[in-house]
């Protein structure tokens, strides 16, 4: 990687990178995050007894929608015709909470890292919104790019040395 920031012109002004000459390739990105909560709140999610309804279904749809709308949320992102966007959840008892994982793919001239990160972030925010009446102390963290494939910069895989999620009782 070079030290040059591609979203700045030679005068330091923000710009959208011209990807018109880049090869169209298949690109995939995986991102993850974690939302910690009390064991009781996690129980509401797992049992399906949250007052606002199916928390995971709503968060999954919100995450997928967010991936599709990333260019409307992040100023210099390109609008992309995604070929895949998925959001999955895994409950955790220790620490109590939900692991969130998004995978996004496209065949095009630019990557989908921001789309995967946005999907995880909005899914986590939706979980918070749907459960805040039960647990305002939930924390969202650990949002990171796990891997990406395709493109000129090649493949990337994060190290497994991520900070562990905080425990809440």
- Report, as residue numbers or ranges, the catalytic residues: 129
Cβ atoms of 31 and 148 within 8 Å: the answer is: no
d(CA 155, CA 29): 10
d(CA 135, CA 108): 41
Which residues make Cβ contacts (< 8 Å) with residue 125, sequence separation at least 6? 62, 140
d(CA 33, CA 165): 9
Cβ atoms of 156 and 147 within 8 Å: the answer is: yes
d(CA 59, CA 129): 10
Three-state DSSP state, 147? strand
């Amino acid at each position: 990687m070079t030290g040059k920031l591609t979203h700045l012109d030679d005068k330091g002004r923000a710009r959208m990178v011209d990807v018109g000459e880049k090869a169209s390739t298949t690109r995939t990105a995986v991102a993850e995050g974690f939302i910690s909560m009390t064991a009781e709140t996690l129980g509401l999610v797992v049992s399906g007894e949250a007052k606002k309804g199916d928390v995971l279904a709503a968060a999954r749809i919100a995450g997928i929608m967010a991936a599709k709308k990333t260019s409307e949320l992040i100023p210099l992102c390109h609008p992309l015709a995604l070929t895949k966007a998925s959001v999955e959840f895994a409950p955790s008892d220790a620490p109590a909470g939900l692991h969130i994982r998004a995978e996004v793919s496209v065949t095009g001239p630019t990557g989908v890292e921001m789309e995967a990160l946005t999907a995880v972030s909005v899914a986590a925010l939706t979980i918070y919104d749907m459960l805040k009446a039960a647990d305002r102390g939930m924390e969202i963290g650990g949002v990171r790019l796990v891997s990406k494939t395709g493109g000129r910069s090649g493949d990337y895989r994060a190290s497994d040395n991520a900070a562990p999620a905080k425990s809440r009782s």
